Each structure stands twice: as C-alpha cells, then as structure tokens.
Chain A
Amino acid sequence: MTTAALETPLRRGTGYWWASYVMMTRWVLTQQRVLFIGVVFGQIVMGIGAAFMYKFYLGSLDPISAMYLVTGIPALSLIPVGFVLVPILVVQEKTRGTYDFTWSLPVPRLAPVAATFTVFTAIALPIAFASTILAAWQFDVTLIVSWTVIPFALLSSLMATSVGYGMAMAIPEPRVTTLVTNVIIFVVLLFSPIVIPIERFPDWLATLQRVLPFYHMANLIRSGLSEDLTTDVGASLAILLAWTVVGWSLVIRIVTRRG
C-alpha cells in the first residue's frame, strides 16, 4: 500500500498547475482551429463593420462623433469574442460530449478554463487594435494613446471571456445560450453607449448601462485612447473587476461541483 502511494507522482502545486495550463492551451488551440477563423472574422466584422454600420445609419459624422466611434471599436470588437464565441464553444463542447471528456482529463479543473481565456484573449486583442487603427485612418481621427490602454484592454477581454464562459456553463439548455448570445449582440449594438456619449441616453437606460459591463468596457478603453472624452474611469475599472469576479465565481462553482 505505502509503496504504491509513493510511486504515484504528486498531482498538485504551482509547477503541476503550470504544466497542465500549458498543455491545455495547446489542446484548446488544436481542437478549435475552425472556430478561431470564426473569431477573427467575427471580430473584424463587429469591430470595423459596426463603425461603418453606424455611419450608414447616421448619414454623416462630425469630428467629435467620429472620435467616439473610433475609440468605441476596441470594446465592440472584444465583446463578440467573450459574449458570443466563447459561449458557442462551450455549447458545442456540451452537445458533442467533449465537455465531459475535457473534465475527465487529469488536470486541475481551472486549467482548461484559464487556457481558453488565454487563447481567446491572445487572438482577440491584436485584431481589436488593428481594427481600431484601420478605423482611425478611415475616419480621419488622431488617437492619443496612453500605456493604460493595454491593461484596460486585457481586463476587458478577461472580463468578457469569464462572463461568457460562466454564463454558457450555467445555462443547461444550449439553445437558450444561443438565444441569449443573440440578445446580447442586439443590446450591445443598439442599446449600449459604446460609440456615443452615455448622456444621449434616457436616464433609466443610462442607469441600467452603468450596471452592465458594456459601457464600462468602452469607457475604460476610450480613456487610454483619447483625452477629455471620458469620466469616472475608476468606477468603470471597479465595475469590470466586479463582473470578472462574478464570471469566475460562476465558473468555479460549476467546475468544482461533483456529480
């Protein structure tokens, strides 16, 4: 009995966690190649596409509106990755049964989750910035970039993927998840002050948007790309951190339960 127990390597500690995390990152990357083409495509469409969409609706743009539009693009481009593509990934895994397989692997349960977040963030951020630069050039806007934009964008991406993952894990019926992602896209594109000042919204909607994460993503990233356009950056930071915690607690609650 004692000898058998000694021969089994210890499966814990930081080193083991790190090794599992690296392996799971490779696993996520190879498993989801097709989906990543979707990520890239969806992001370009949502990011740069939405900017043009608003322009078509509005007909013409003054310089301040153009500035708002361009600095809203990183948020617009990160939202579909976290809130749509990550849930689609989870739904697919659930219906195909790979979900149970992944959980049966001898790695810490949060390693595959962390790996998913890493992979999606690594793909999403460069494209978000490329779209923004392209849009700045297209709409003739000069950005005032500060270093804070990098941690702010990282936090936004982490928050979006965490909440998207947690949501998709918590909802048992995949079709409901699909429906919810559709609703999120709709709310984001039409009812969120991402590319316009929040003051233009009626009070009740502005209040609601100060609770939801979308406005705060835009506000936070905008503060790193411009001057004098943003207020209450600290509040946005706090609310995004709170949403990240909500996302992670959902994930942790579900992945660590047994049965």
Chain B
Amino acid sequence: MTADAISLPLTIRSGPANWWHSLSAMLRWQLTSMRLLLPLLIVVQMLVAAGFSIGIGLFFEDLTATAALYLGTGAAIITLIIVGLVVAPQLIAAEKEEGTYDFSWSLPVPRSASVAAWLALSAIISIPSMVMALIIASWHFDIRFVLSWSIIPAVLLTLVCGTMIGYAMAHAIDQPSLTQLLTQVVAFGVLGFTPITYPLENLPPWLQSVHQVLPFYHMGVIVRAGLTVGIVEELWLSYMVVLAWTLAAIAVTAFVLGRRK
C-alpha cells in the first residue's frame, strides 16, 4: 500500500470553504425539493400569524390594553417558534415516511452544514411571518411597539432554540407517525397552555412552575423585551433558560446525527 497508489483522485473535503459550500448546496437542495410546498407553507404561516391575534381577540367581550399587547406580541412570538418546532419536524417525518430521509443523509456534506441549512430554511419561513404578525397586530389593536437592539439576539436565539428542539425530536424519533402526533401536541401546548399570549398569572400555580423550566415562556419574555417596555422582568434568567435548552437540543441532535446505524 503505497501512498501514491491511492488518494490522488480525491480532493480533501474539509475546511471552512467546503463547509460553506456544503451549506449553500444543502440550502439550495432543500429549497428546490420543497419548491411546490414552500410558497404554500409561507402563505399559511403568514395567515396564521395575521389571524392569531385577531382570532383570539374575538373571544374577549372587551379587550383591555394589556391583554391586547400580550396578544399582539404573543402572536408574533408564537409564529417564530411554531415553524421550527412543529412544521419542520413534520417535514422530516414526511421524509422518513417517503424514504428520502436516508438519501439526504447519504449526501457528501458535513452534517453540521445540513443542520445550518435547516436553520436558514426555518428563518426564511418564520421571520417574514413574524414581521407580518407584528404589522397586523399593530394595526388591529393600535399597539405602538418600542423596538430595542435586543430584538436581534432574542429573535435569533428563540429561532435557533425552537428549530433545534423540533429538529432533535424529529431525528431522535424513528416512527414518523409518533412525530406527527407529538408535533400536534406541542403545537396545542404552545398555543393554548403557554403564557406567551397572556400573562403568567392566568395559569394555576403548578403550571406556572412548569413554565419556569420549559423554554417557551422564556422565549416570549426575551422577544417581548425587544418589542415593548414595562411588562418584562428578570430578563437574564430567561436568556439563560433559552440558551440552556438550545445547547441541550444541539447536544441531542449531535448525538443522534453522529451515531452510526
């Protein structure tokens, strides 16, 4: 086995340039494979975003200014989370069901580049919807948002955290139908039982404690702090909780994707 007998035709596939190239290739691949579904998905997300605050607003006999502010900002925050947490796992489950999943992983790209491409895709779908939700809420409820610089890290961290939790879940669970079911439960839990669109005090004490540990309430806190003044407290704690969940989700993803079959 002499060295020149092998390895000559192979170029080395490593380094930042290759990673970057893989990322853009994977993003193009995902965008192309979803070309029919993507516009529909974006439109649906925008409708959900626009409709959410208006819809829930209908249930109130008279809506107070604070309730309206919670609804308006909460709708935008939920839109940001729901794509990565619910829609993305459903897409992965569909890939597993169809068999394209294994094909995707056989592509010669670093797995971290695939993950990064997935995050970019999630941002492409969810950020326009979030902006849409804010515009609609501001018009419908006559809310004036006070934007601060912290909106940028808050949105990014929330997006990465939500997407990575969904991603870890979809990859770790082998059975696609279980993923489908779980995403429905998560969607329902986030929409209904998470104090993002209403104050924490509306919940019974035990559920309040649960939300101190889960990331969703804290995601609401950090993003809302970038949009308004006055209704947010203990910001750093919330940042730490969301960050911890992000790291945990990345660790699970790394473990699941790194193992060999």
Contact = CB atoms under 8 A, between A and B. Distances in A.
A119 interface: no
Interface stretch (B47-55, B115-123, B142-150, B240-248): B47-55
5 contacts: A52-B193, A92-B177, A183-B48, A185-B188, A200-B59
B44 A179 contact: yes
A61 to B, nearest CB: 11
B65 to A, nearest CB: 14
Interface in B33-60: 36-37, 40-41, 44, 47-48, 51-52, 55-56, 58-60
B98 interface: yes
B58 A201 contact: yes
B91 interface: yes
A58 interface: yes
A45 B181 contact: no
B241 to A, nearest CB: 21
Contacts, number: 94
A54 B94 contact: no
B51 A190 contact: yes
B193 A42 contact: no
Determine the interface band of chain B, counting residues with CB < 8 A from chain A. Answer: 35 or more
A134 interface: no
Interface in A38-77: 38, 41-42, 45-46, 49-50, 52-54, 56-59
B97 interface: yes
A50 B195 CA distance: 15
Contacts of A34: 177
A35 interface: yes
B40 A176 contact: yes
A196 B59 contact: yes
B203 A54 contact: no
A191 B53 CA distance: 11
A59 B47 CA distance: 26
A53 B192 CA distance: 5
Nearest to B86: A182
A59 B90 contact: no
Given A35-B177, A178-B90, A179-B41, A56 B193 contact: yes
A45 B185 contact: yes
Given A49-B193, A179-B40, 14 more contacts: A49-B188, A52-B193, A54-B59, A56-B192, A56-B198, A57-B56, A175-B90, A178-B180, A179-B37, A179-B44, A182-B44, A186-B48, A190-B58, A191-B51
B177 A59 contact: no
Contact of B51 (A45, A88, A186): A186
A81 interface: no
B181 A38 contact: yes
